[in-house]
Amino acid sequence: MNSTLILFLIFIVVTLAITYWAAKRSATAGAYFAANRQIKAWQNGVAVAGDYMSAASFLGIAGLIAFNGYDGFMYSVGWLVAYLTVLLLVAEPLRNAGKYTMADVLAYRLHPRPVRAMAALSTLTVSTFYMIAQMIGAGALVSLLLKDSHITFHTAVIGVGILMIVYVVFGGMLATTWVQIIKAILLMGGTIILSILVMNHFGWSFSNFFDAITKVTYHDPKGATVVKDFLQPGGMYKPPYGALDLISLGIALIFGTAGLPHILVRFYTVPDAKTARHSVVWAMVLIGAFYIMTTFLGFGAATVVGRDFIAKNGGQNMSGPNLALFLGGNFFFAFICAIAFATILAVVAGLTISASTSFAHDFWTNVVHKGTERSPGEEVRVARITAFVVGAASITVAILLGPTFNVAFLVALAFAVAASANLPVIIFSIFWKRFNTAGAVCGLVVGLLSSIILIAIGPSLMGPGPTAWFHRAAPIFPLQNPGIISVPLGFLGAWLGTLLGGRDAAAEAKFTELEVRANIGLGAEQATAGH
């Protein structure tokens, strides 16, 4: 057995022990869905960071920088800035006004059944697309990391899927939270050690480090030696549409993060709005520090390891682990690989619990059964079954699509839907008195459809691109990221729907209640005593 596998097993044993501990504390709905709202600010902040920073960040961005230089670093900036939208506009009103899901806020003063049905559909779309992307990534990664131990893509996907189901079905939000906290601490620890090793390699001289970045040497596909200045912009975002695509991605990040259901549900786990605010700040400190350190991970891999070696040993996404191998040896390589594994598990667990909460609370209890549980504990029971079904379905889909399936567009789609469908209706329900049910349904439908359609007719799926399915015509929409069109369309749809829907006196009358509740926490859900 190699050391990566042993570290994997240690992580699995620890997280299963936590799940066992959490399972005994997750009997009631408040405990299962929101950890009794007793999570502390720092814990929730660290968990948000753990929920958010996926393997795409840890391995993907390091690889983007290692292969494309500066543009990869520019790409990483938006992931932190997006949290200002969460902090300034969404976290506190959401915590005060809602109970378990994003839809609680939308349904507060609108007709709950159509709004919740659409919001649940949007939540499930975002979560499943994102989850399938993570599962395929996990399978490809684990089979690569553990290639000596004969673990195949299928075994890896099934293993990750089963663990995720166990965490969520038995341990609920409490187990998910602690898996995310442990993962975030491991991820930050590994990244800090790697950064220190990179600076140590350059004799603690930033000017040596940056000088090396201006002279990155590798061989192009024809075998010619290339010396390139990796601080120069333009490595990835090339004319004519590169800059526009990056702006479009930025729009999806800045407006989408505050509409990601698995991030939003985290704010229901804390006792009050003030704690929610402080937890966003904790998350911002960690997330910001992490993305700044991608400078060392990415440029470090480009200068210390070099593109040639990485390309032959796992490819772009293995830039970080290869850097660990060069600077810290075999054991440190195993440690970094185990962190990547922990990272994926924590993110898929967060996605599973938000999807199952939304189905059980929004769709089952509030849409199908008009807001009442037919028997005590039904909502939690439905959520556990949903978590199992969602997990089994994503294992199946991930295996059917296979390890070579391009997952980047699934992530782009998840963020685009969150930004174009979820965020406009969240913002309007909190801040616009006139907003009504027609506006919410229209905004959700327009945002969801425009994101899906623009991705389907974009270069990810159409035209000559390497990942395209439909090769017979050039892409109709030139950008990989639809945000620049779909986000304004989502807002426009919500606005037009409101005007066309006519005035809803009841919804407007209830705006005062929502405004008071959102701003001072009067009537907000309280923390309950644990066991």
Partner 1 sequence: MADTKTTPGATSASSATSAPSGDGASQWDRVAAMDEFKQLLKSKARFIVPATIFFIVYYFLLPWLVGYYPQKMDKRVWGSVNIAYLFALSQFFVSWLIAWLYVRAARKWDDSAKNILNRLKGGK
Residues 262-281 interacting with partner 1 (rule: CB under 8 A)? 274, 277-278, 280-281
Site for partner 1 in 411-450 (CB under 8 A): 437
- Binding segment toward partner 1, per CB under 8 A, in 153-161, 179-187, 288-296, 416-424: 288-296
Beta bridge partners of 228: 216
From the list 1, 10, 17, 243, which residue makes contact with partner 1 (rule: CB under 8 A)? 243
Nearer Cβ to partner 1, position 134 or 248?
Answer: 248
Site string for partner 1, 244-263 (x = CB under 8 A): x-xx--x---x---------
- Binding segment toward partner 1, per CB under 8 A, in 132-140, 205-213, 336-344, 345-353: 205-213
Q: Return the structure tokens found at 410.
A: 């699934």
From the list 207, 225, 375, 404, which residue makes contact with partner 1 (rule: CB under 8 A)? 207
| 135 lines the binding site for partner 1 (CB under 8 A) | no
Site for partner 1 in 337-376 (CB under 8 A): 365-366, 370-373
- What angle do helix axes 505-520 and 423-431 make, rounded to 10 degrees? 90
- Binding segment toward partner 1, per CB under 8 A, in 146-154, 203-211, 259-267, 455-463: 203-211
Nearer Cβ to partner 1, position 341 or 359?
Answer: 359
CA-to-CA separations, 150 to 153, 154, 333, 402, 464, in angstroms, rounded: 10, 11, 18, 17, 35
Which phi and psi (to 5°) does residue 39 adopt? -70, 135
Site for partner 1 in 444-503 (CB under 8 A): none
Site for partner 1 in 92-111 (CB under 8 A): 97-99, 104-105, 107-108, 111
Secondary structure (H, E, C), 156-193 = HHHHHHHHHHHHHHHHHHHHHHHHHHHHHHHHHHHHHH
| 291 lines the binding site for partner 1 (CB under 8 A) | yes
| 192 lines the binding site for partner 1 (CB under 8 A) | no
Site for partner 1 in 147-166 (CB under 8 A): none
Site for partner 1 in 295-334 (CB under 8 A): none
Nearer Cβ to partner 1, position 338 or 430?
Answer: 430
Nearer Cβ to partner 1, position 77 or 408?
Answer: 77
The nearest distance, CB 201 to partner 1, in angstroms, is 17
Pick the closest to residue 46 from 172, 139, 183, 150 (CA basis).
183
From the list 185, 285, 393, 397, which residue makes contact with partner 1 (rule: CB under 8 A)? 285
Report which secondary-structure segment, H or E, holds 218. strand 216-219
- What angle do helix axes 112-145 and 437-456 make, rounded to 10 degrees? 30
Which phi and psi (to 5°) does residue 58 adopt? -65, -50
> What residues contact 427, with CB distance under 8 A and at least 6 apart?
89, 90
The DSSP letter of residue 477 is: S
SS3 content of the chain, % helix, strand, coil (to 5): 75, 0, 20
From the list 47, 74, 144, 160, which residue makes contact with partner 1 (rule: CB under 8 A)? 74
Q: How many helices (H) and strands (E) does the chain have?
A: 23, 2
Nearer Cβ to partner 1, position 148 or 229?
Answer: 229
The nearest distance, CB 373 to partner 1, in angstroms, is 7
Nearer Cβ to partner 1, position 232 or 330?
Answer: 232
Site for partner 1 in 26-55 (CB under 8 A): 30
Instruction: Report which residue type is found at 278.
Output: H
- CA distance linking residue 75 with residue 399, whole number of Å: 30
Which residue is associated with the tokens 């006139």? 434
Nearer Cβ to partner 1, position 15 or 357?
Answer: 357
> What residues contact 52, with CB distance under 8 A and at least 6 apart?
79, 257, 260, 263, 283, 287, 347
